């Protein structure tokens, strides 16, 4: 299977230790060894929040705040590349065309590219560029909820959504501004919908759940044009 993974930066930066990178590298390496073709885009996590806030305090425009965020995603990408060693291509991939041209034996790792979205959009674009079967959005939340779970403790997880339903949820809950592009950003939803690429949103606190998602038995939310 060809898979594009959006790996939430919060998972990589939670403990700010090497083990956090090693455990995701190990899960991704196992998937590669099982024959899957993998592209992984790293988010910025704690680093992004800290530095975007600093730039905001300094009066930076939204464009500069996003650019600060992009640099933090590159730090995480380099750390994941380091943890993957010879299994990864050593470049940080930023554009669909590069991913397409370099797709081969090694795992391709990417980061942010342009202001105005999050790395979710990169993962969607990369999925389009390589004709991926699936996008896996790896977050620290167990999927999509019927209400904002940060505000409503009784919110319930949804197992399946179509693209329009996800778009409505993302629009209503997230501002689409630096550091707040949401659980899967709007441009990414629209791109995946247009290309009809299924998206699975999972809690990847335990990296084993990424393996489960690719093997079709995850506990997250599936977004596609048909329930299966």
**Does residue number 9 form part of the binding site for ligand UTP (CB under 6 A)?**
yes
DSSP 3-state of 178: coil
**Does residue number 204 form part of the binding site for ligand UTP (CB under 6 A)?**
no
Report the alpha-carbon angle 228-169-48, nearest 5.
105
**Does residue number 10 form part of the binding site for ligand UTP (CB under 6 A)?**
yes
Site size for ligand UTP, by CB under 6 A?
Answer: 25
Please say whether the beta carbons of 144 and 166 come within 8 A: yes
> Burial level of 33, CB count in 10 A (0-12/13-18/19+)?
exposed
User: Of the candidates 114, 171, 175, 196, which one interacts with ligand UTP according to CB under 6 A?
Assistant: 114
**Does residue number 43 form part of the binding site for ligand UTP (CB under 6 A)?**
yes
User: Of the candidates 25, 28, 40, 70, which one interacts with ligand UTP according to CB under 6 A?
Assistant: 70
How far is residue 179 from each of residues 48, 70, 98, 150, measured CA to CA in Å? 7, 10, 26, 16
Q: Token pair for residue 53?
A: 């806030």
In terms of CB distance, is 111 or 198 closer to ligand UTP?
Answer: 111
- Ranges within 73-92 binding ligand UTP (CB under 6 A): 73
In terms of CB distance, is 9 or 207 closer to ligand UTP?
Answer: 9
* CB contact set of 144 (below 8 Å; sequence gap of 6+): 157, 158, 161, 166, 169, 183, 201, 221, 223
- With CB under 6 A as the contact rule, which of the stretches 19-27, 146-154, 161-169, 175-183 interacts with ligand UTP? 175-183
The whole-angstrom distance between residue 204's C-alpha and the CA centroid of its chain comes to 11
**Does residue number 128 form part of the binding site for ligand UTP (CB under 6 A)?**
no
**Does residue number 186 form part of the binding site for ligand UTP (CB under 6 A)?**
no
**Does residue number 55 form part of the binding site for ligand UTP (CB under 6 A)?**
no
**DSSP-derived secondary structure letter, 111:** -
Binding site for ligand UTP (CB under 6 A): 8-10, 43-45, 48, 52, 65-66, 69-70, 73, 112-119, 122, 178-179, 181
């Amino acid at each position: 299977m060809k898979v594009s993974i959006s790996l939430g930066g919060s998972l990589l930066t939670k403990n700010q230790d090497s083990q956090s990178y090693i455990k995701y590298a190990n899960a991704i390496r196992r998937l590669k060894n099982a024959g899957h073709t993998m592209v992984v885009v790293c988010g910025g996590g704690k680093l992004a929040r800290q530095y975007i806030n600093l730039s905001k305090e300094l009066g930076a425009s939204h464009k500069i705040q996003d650019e600060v965020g992009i640099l933090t995603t590159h730090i995480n990408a380099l750390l994941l590349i380091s943890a993957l060693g010879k299994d990864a291509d050593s470049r940080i991939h930023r554009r669909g065309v590069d991913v397409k041209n370099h797709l081969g034996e090694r795992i391709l790792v990417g980061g942010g590219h342009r202001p105005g979205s999050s790395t979710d959009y990169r993962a969607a674009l990369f999925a389009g560029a390589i004709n991926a079967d699936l996008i896996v959005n790896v977050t620290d939340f167990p999927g999509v909820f019927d209400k904002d779970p940060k505000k409503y403790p009784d919110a319930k997880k949804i197992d399946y959504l179509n693209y329009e339903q996800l778009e409505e949820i993302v629009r209503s809950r997230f501002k689409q501004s630096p550091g707040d592009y949401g659980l899967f950003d709007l441009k990414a939803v629209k791109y995946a919908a247009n290309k009809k690429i299924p998206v699975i949103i999972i809690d990847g606190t335990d990296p084993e759940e990424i393996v489960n998602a690719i093997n079709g038995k995850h506990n997250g939310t599936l977004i596609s044009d048909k329930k299966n």
